[in-house]
Amino acid sequence: MDIMCFIIPALVGLIFGIFGYLLGKMSSKKDVLLAVSLQEDLDVCKSTVKNLNQKINALDVELASKTKNNPAPQSSISQFIFDKEIALNILGKKVKENDLKIVEGIGPKIEALFNEAGIATWQDLSKASTEKLQNILDAAGENFAMHNPSTWPKQALMAHQGKWQELKDWQANLLGGKE
């Protein structure tokens, strides 16, 4: 018998075995990335469902109060109820409600300045103009005046609305709160 009859099939089998192994490795990496992406999407969906359920409950309360001809004041109905667990899952760090330091570029000293100026919540910060924020920073001295608050209101709005994944993705592209 000719030795080539054994060597050629063995080499072909070895080559296809290596090729199959490499394809399997590449496929498993894609599966891991897909699983991570799906988990992030699931967390965002859970957050959205929770917010929608809270809005439904708030609307039920409002409807019930209007049915009794005693409408509830608008301030008692919240558009978003903060859930620290969802924020932790998406951002990967503990978040306190209305902690201005969650905004990229704001540290404890700037947070204290804003609190003194009456900006104590994410909603307050989201409604503040960039000019007002810059004026507060300028008045505090040159160490604060160098900061650029142009993205801070939008970041605060995302936090106020519970859009944690959107906030995380945007902050990943910011440098010290600047685009």
| DSSP track, 61-119 | HHHHHHHTT-PPPGGGS-S----HHHHHHHHSS---TT-GGGSTT--HHHHHHHHHTT-
The Cα–Cα gap between 120 and 156 comes to 11
CB 152 within 8 A of CB 125: yes
CB 159 within 8 A of CB 167: yes
Instruction: Enter the tokens of residue 106.
Output: 């704001």
Calculate the alpha carbon distances from 176 to 26, 101, 138, 150, 152 in Å.
36, 12, 17, 11, 10
The Cα–Cα gap between 175 and 31 comes to 31
Whether residue 49 is predicted with pLDDT greater than 70 in this model: the reply is: yes
| Entry pTM | 0.54
The per-residue pLDDT for 175 is 66
| 156 band by pLDDT with thresholds 50, 70 and 90 | very high
Instruction: Enter the tokens of residue 71.
Output: 């409408």
What's the whole-number mean pLDDT along residues 37-42?
86
Residue 175's SS3 state is strand
What's the whole-number mean pLDDT along residues 53-67?
81
What's the whole-number mean pLDDT along residues 144-169?
91
The per-residue pLDDT for 51 is 87
The Cα–Cα gap between 99 and 108 comes to 10
